[in-house]
Structure 1
Amino acid sequence: MDWLTFFASIIGSLVWPIVTVILLLVFKDELTKVVPFIKKLKAGPVEAEFDREVKQLKELVASDYKIEDASPAAVASKEFLFQLARLHPRSAILESWVRLEAAARAALPQDTSKASKAGYVPAANLSQALVSAGKIDQSQVTLYHELRRLRNDVAHLVGPEPTQESVHSYIELAASLQRRLEMPHT
């Protein structure tokens, strides 16, 4: 390799970083105005944000879920989860899901849970078993699966903590479905 080829390859590899720095300097004022509004920046495939998805889910099911009178135990349970959310937002989401899944398992008739080899119905299949048992309808199946997916995102993805508002919305949605499952007659 001669010195001209070497020099050309170095210039070729430095062009994009130099152009990037120049653009950052030129648009510095505009970027400083936009940066506070950026919650997450990731190159590559589009990554959904927990906060946005919880808000969309809440809007989607808002008409289906009216605020109902909750028992003192349910109110105390939600208050505990709200306090936990202030300290550990992810833990509050995980705990909300654990409580919802436990209510779903408890709502299943005993013969349904025996249908599985070991008497265990995977969380992904619980919703269909609940529909078969007449405990939830199709819109609640959607809510169940979305809450489960969001819980998995929070548990497995590394990223910024969800906002308090989105955690509270998640807790509210999970608690409303949990109350529905705990009702004696649907």
Structure 2
Amino acid sequence: MTFLEFLASLVSSLAWPATIFLAIFFLRKPLVELIPLLKKLKYKEFEAEFRDALEATPVPPTIATDDTLSADSPGDLLKSRNYYLQLAEVSPRSAIMEAWLELESASSDAYTRIVKPGMKVFMNPRDTAQYLYGQSLITEDEYKSFQSLARLRNKAAHETDLSDMNQKVVGEYVDFCLTLASKIRALQI
């Protein structure tokens, strides 16, 4: 075997491992961000299961299950839980987006009542939640729930594969949004 044959053989045997190493090296940050979204990882004898993002969401103290809620008083919801569950049967993505709008509207209304009574003010929902938390109007768990719900809403809005969003997951998301929205609407400011 000549030196050139040896070198060709060496390059040939190291090409794939080097390519994989470089791909992982350059994509390490996006790959790390995907880890919380994994449900299950299995390689030969190694197996690991991860919790869904919704399971990691802190649960608000009560779940809104009253299907007769209306917008007659500040503590009430704009639409009933049943509305969102029926929508979820047709389009889970739409149910998530609509439930998020309920929470966004509640937080925006609360912010308006505190800061600019009588004026409709639009503020980023994340900033609104941060403001409510800073004013001790919502608890730390509720603030963390708000953030988790926002992330899941963004996933529903921007990702094409929602195969992990089954009826149960969407129902829990709706319950979390409506519970938190109801609590925020009922704030005495």
Mark yes or no: TM-score above 0.5.
yes
Go from structure 1 to structure 2 and tell me whether the alpha carbon gap of 1:106 and 1:12 turns closer, same or farther (over 3 Å shift). Answer: closer
Task: Name the counterpart of 1:53.
Answer: 53
Task: Name the counterpart of 1:172.
Answer: 175
Question: What TM-score do you get using the length of structure 1 for normalisation?
Answer: 0.63
1:151 maps to which of 147, 150, 153: 153
Q: In proportion to residue count, which structure has more strand?
A: 2
Give the Cα separation in 1 of the matches to 2:171 and 2:144: 19
Q: CA deviation at 1:12?
A: 9.1
Go from structure 1 to structure 2 and tell me whether the alpha carbon gap of 1:111 and 1:136 turns closer, same or farther (over 3 Å shift). Answer: closer
Q: Is the 8 A contact 2:107 2:125 kept in 1?
A: no
Q: CA deviation at 1:185?
A: 2.9
Q: Which moved more, 1:66-75 or 1:83-92?
A: 66-75
Give the Cα separation in 1 of the matches to 2:82 and 2:172: 13
Q: Is the 8 A contact 1:109 1:133 kept in 2?
A: no
Give the Cα separation in 2 of the matches to 1:111 and 1:121: 13
Go from structure 1 to structure 2 and tell me whether the alpha carbon gap of 1:134 and 1:12 turns closer, same or farther (over 3 Å shift). Answer: closer
Q: CA deviation at 1:123?
A: 1.6
Asked whether 1:183 is paired with 2:180, we answer: no
Amino acid at match of 2:37: E
Give the Cα separation in 1 of the matches to 2:94 and 2:137: 27
Asked whether 1:104 is paired with 2:102, we answer: no
Amino acid at match of 2:171: H
Correspondence list, 1:1-186, <5 A:
44-45=31-32, 46-49=34-37, 52-57=52-57, 60-61=58-59, 64-65=61-62, 72-73=69-70, 74=77, 77-110=80-113, 112=115, 119-161=121-163, 162-185=165-188
Superposed CA deviations along residues 4-57 of structure 1, whole A, max 9, x for unmatched, are x99x9999989xxxxxxxxxxxxxxxxxxxxxxxxxxxxx55354398111232
Structure 2: state its 5+ residue gaps: 1-6, 17-30, 39-50, 71-76
Superposed CA deviations along residues 43-76 of structure 1, whole A, max 9, x for unmatched, are x55354398111232xx326x3366767532496
Greater relative contact order structure (CA < 8 Å, 6+ sep): 1
SS in structure 1 opposite 2:137? coil
Go from structure 1 to structure 2 and tell me whether the alpha carbon gap of 1:9 and 1:131 turns closer, same or farther (over 3 Å shift). Answer: closer
SS in structure 2 opposite 1:61? coil
Question: What TM-score do you get using the length of structure 2 for normalisation?
Answer: 0.63
Go from structure 1 to structure 2 and tell me whether the alpha carbon gap of 1:71 and 1:160 turns closer, same or farther (over 3 Å shift). Answer: closer
Q: Is the 8 A contact 1:112 1:129 kept in 2?
A: no
